[in-house]
C-alpha cells in the first residue's frame, strides 16, 4: 500500500505527464481569484510614488525640530493632496498618514510628540532625519517586475459589504494622479472574503466626509456584515469610528496590541457586525485574517476555524521592538521537511511590494525582542497563496 506521500507523488507524476498547454484567459482582476498568472506584471510607477508620511503629525526639517523648538505651522497636507510648495525655513506643515511630504522636509514628527499653541507647534524631542517617511521608489522601482508568471492569485455564503475610505483613493482601473493611491484594499478584501466563504459586495470608496461615509455605511449595513478599510487612526480625517458611533454602533474594541493593524475596530451597528480595518494594505490583510475571517465562518453557520498558524524554523535572526505582537511579511519555504521562514525587507504597513512577495506573516510575540536563527517561530499563513 502506498503512503499518502507516495500516492500524491503518483498523482502529480501522472497528471503532470498528460497535462496539455495551459489555457490563457483574459479576466478582470475581480475574478482572478483561483487562477494562475500567465504574464509578469510590472510596476507602472515608483512605489511609493512620492515621499510618503507614515504618521499623522508635522513635516519638518529635522535640524529645526529640536526639543523645545517652536515652528510656525504653514498649513496642512492630507492624503491625496497635490503638494507644490516646499517647506520654508522656520516652518512646519501638518501632515496626515499617507500624504506626500513637501520638498525641504526630511522628517515627520508624530502628533503625539508635539503641542499646538495657535499657529505655533512645539516639539518635545529631537527629530531624526528620515523618520516616519518612506522615500519615493523605496518599495519598488518603476517598471520593476512585481508579480511573476505562475504566481497563484487564489480562494450558504454570507454577504459581506466592503467599503474603502479615503480622499486619496481612486478606482483600480483609473490612472492615479501623482498623489493618489489605487484602491487595492477593495480587491484584496473581496478576495479574502471569497476565500473565507463569503460573498463580497463591493461598495467602492467613501470620501473622508461625514455625509458620504454615513450614506455608504448605511448601504453596507443592509448586508450580513460590513468591512471598512481606512479612516480608523489618529488623523484629523479619520472619521469612521465617529460616524459609526453616531449611527448607534456599539464597539467591542478599537485598538489591538499588534503591529501592523493596531487601530482595528470591531463593533455592532444596527444589528450587523462592522469591522474598521486600518487602510495600509498590510494592516488591512492581517486584521482581516485575525478578526473578520472567524466572523464569516460563524455567519456561514459554521464554527470559527482556528487561525492558520504553523511552526517554522527561523532562517535569519530577528530584532524587533518589544511590546506589540508583530506580523511581519515573510516567506516560508520547505527546503526539507521542516518549514523555514524569513522576514522580508519592508518599509512598514503600506509596503504593497513586500506584500506581493510574502506568502505568510511571521508572528513575533510582544515579549520577544531577539529571536536567533534556528529557533522555532509561529507563522500565519496567507490562505490565498499557501
CB of 132 to ligand AMP, least distance (A): 13
Site residues for ligand AMP, 175-234, by CB under 6 A, read: 181, 183-186, 229-231, 233
Q: What's the CA gap between 287 and 259, in Å, rounded?
A: 10
Cell numbers 523618520: residue: 131
> For the chain, what is the radius of gyration of the CA atoms?
22
Q: What's the CA gap between 156 and 171, in Å, rounded?
A: 30
Partner touching 278 among ligand AMP, Mg ion, none, CB below 5 to 8 Å by kind: ligand AMP
CB of 277 to Mg ion, least distance (A): 11
CB of 239 to Mg ion, least distance (A): 9
Nearer to ligand AMP, 98 or 198 (CB): 98
Which positions from 182 to 221 touch Mg ion by CB under 5 A, shown as an x/- string? ----------------------------------------
Partner touching 164 among ligand AMP, Mg ion, none, CB below 5 to 8 Å by kind: ligand AMP
Query: The C-alpha cell of 5 is what?
Result: 506521500
Nearer to ligand AMP, 71 or 213 (CB): 213
The 3-state DSSP class for residue 243 equals helix
Number of residues lying near ligand AMP (CB under 6 A) = 23
Q: Choose which of 49, 57, 98, 198 interacts with ligand AMP (CB under 6 A).
A: 98
DSSP-derived secondary structure letter, 30 = G
Partner touching 53 among Mg ion, ligand AMP, none, CB below 5 to 8 Å by kind: none
Partner touching 200 among ligand AMP, Mg ion, none, CB below 5 to 8 Å by kind: none
Q: What's the CA gap between 259 and 251, in Å, rounded?
A: 20
Does 276 contact ligand AMP by CB under 6 A?
no
Q: Choose which of 279, 296, 328, 354 interacts with ligand AMP (CB under 6 A).
A: 279
Q: Choose which of 48, 158, 166, 267 interacts with Mg ion (CB under 5 A).
A: 166
- Give, in degrees to the nearest 5, the angle at Cα 297 between 166 and 249: 45
The 3-state DSSP class for residue 204 equals strand
Query: The C-alpha cell of 91 is what?
Result: 516652518
Which of 294, 313, 229 shows the shortest CA–CA distance to 265?
A: 229
Site residues for ligand AMP, 51-90, by CB under 6 A, read: 79
Q: How far is CA 84 from CA 51, 98, 310, in A?
A: 13, 16, 48
Element (H, E) at 296: helix 293-299
Does 230 contact Mg ion by CB under 5 A?
yes
Which of 357, 227, 230 shows the shortest CA–CA distance to 293?
A: 227
Query: The C-alpha cell of 255 is what?
Result: 485598538
CB of 208 to ligand AMP, least distance (A): 8
Does 281 contact ligand AMP by CB under 6 A?
yes
Q: What's the CA gap between 370 and 305, in Å, rounded?
A: 31
Q: How far is CA 294 from CA 84, 221, 303, in A?
A: 45, 19, 8
Number of residues lying near Mg ion (CB under 5 A) = 3
Nearer to Mg ion, 49 or 166 (CB): 166
Which of 96, 161, 108, 166 shows the shortest CA–CA distance to 134?
A: 108
CB of 182 to ligand AMP, least distance (A): 6
Does 329 contact Mg ion by CB under 5 A?
no
Which residues of the shown chain bind Mg ion in the complex (CB under 5 A)? Answer: 166, 230-231
Which residues of the shown chain bind ligand AMP in the complex (CB under 6 A)? Answer: 79, 97-98, 164, 166, 168-169, 181, 183-186, 229-231, 233, 235, 238, 278-281, 350
Amino acid at each position: 500500500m502506498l503512503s499518502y506521500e507516495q500516492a500524491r507523488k503518483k498523482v502529480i507524476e501522472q497528471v503532470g505527464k498528460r497535462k496539455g498547454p495551459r489555457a490563457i484567459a483574459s479576466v478582470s482582476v475581480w475574478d482572478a481569484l483561483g487562477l494562475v498568472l500567465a504574464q509578469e506584471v510590472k510596476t507602472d510607477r515608483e512605489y511609493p510614488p512620492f515621499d510618503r508620511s507614515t504618521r499623522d503629525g508635522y513635516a519638518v526639517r529635522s535640524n529645526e525640530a529640536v526639543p523645545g523648538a517652536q515652528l510656525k505651522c504653514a498649513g496642512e497636507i492630507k492624503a491625496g493632496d497635490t503638494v507644490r510648495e516646499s517647506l520654508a525655513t522656520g516652518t512646519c506643515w501638518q501632515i496626515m498618514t499617507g500624504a506626500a511630504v513637501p520638498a525641504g522636509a526630511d522628517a515627520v514628527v508624530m502628533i503625539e510628540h508635539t503641542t499646538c499653541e495657535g499657529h505655533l507647534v512645539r516639539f518635545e524631542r529631537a527629530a531624526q532625519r528620515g523618520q516616519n517617511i518612506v522615500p519615493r521608489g523605496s518599495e519598488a522601482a518603476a517598471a520593476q517586475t512585481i508579480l511573476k508568471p505562475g504566481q497563484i492569485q487564489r480562494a450558504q455564503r454570507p454577504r459581506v459589504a466592503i467599503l474603502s475610505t479615503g480622499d486619496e483613493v481612486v478606482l483600480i482601473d483609473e490612472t492615479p494622479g501623482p498623489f493618489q493611491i489605487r484602491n487595492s484594499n477593495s480587491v484584496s478584501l473581496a478576495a479574502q472574503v471569497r476565500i473565507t466563504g463569503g460573498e463580497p459586495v463591493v461598495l467602492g470608496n467613501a470620501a473622508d466626509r461625514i455625509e458620504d461615509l454615513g450614506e455608504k455605511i448605511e448601504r453596507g449595513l443592509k448586508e450580513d456584515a460590513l468591512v471598512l478599510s481606512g479612516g480608523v487612526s489618529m488623523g484629523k480625517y479619520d472619521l469612521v469610528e465617529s460616524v459609526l458611533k453616531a449611527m448607534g454602533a456599539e464597539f467591542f474594541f478599537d485598538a489591538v496590541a499588534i503591529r501592523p493593524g493596531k487601530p482595528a475596530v470591531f463593533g455592532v451597528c444596527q444589528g450587523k457586525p462592522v469591522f474598521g480595518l486600518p487602510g495600509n494594505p498590510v494592516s488591512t490583510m492581517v486584521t482581516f485574517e485575525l478578526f473578520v475571517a472567524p466572523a464569516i465562518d460563524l455567519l456561514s453557520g459554521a464554527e470559527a476555524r482556528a487561525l492558520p498558524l504553523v511552526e517554522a524554523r527561523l532562517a535569519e535572526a530577528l530584532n524587533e521592538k518589544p511590546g506589540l505582537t508583530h506580523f511581519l511579511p515573510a516567506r516560508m519555504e520547505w527546503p526539507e521537511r521542516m518549514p523555514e521562514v524569513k522576514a522580508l525587507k519592508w518599509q512598514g504597513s503600506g509596503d504593497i511590494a513586500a506584500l506581493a512577495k510574502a506568502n505568510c506573516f511571521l508572528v513575533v510575540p510582544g515579549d520577544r525582542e531577539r529571536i536567533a536563527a534556528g529557533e522555532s517561530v509561529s507563522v500565519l499563513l496567507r490562505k490565498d497563496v499557501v
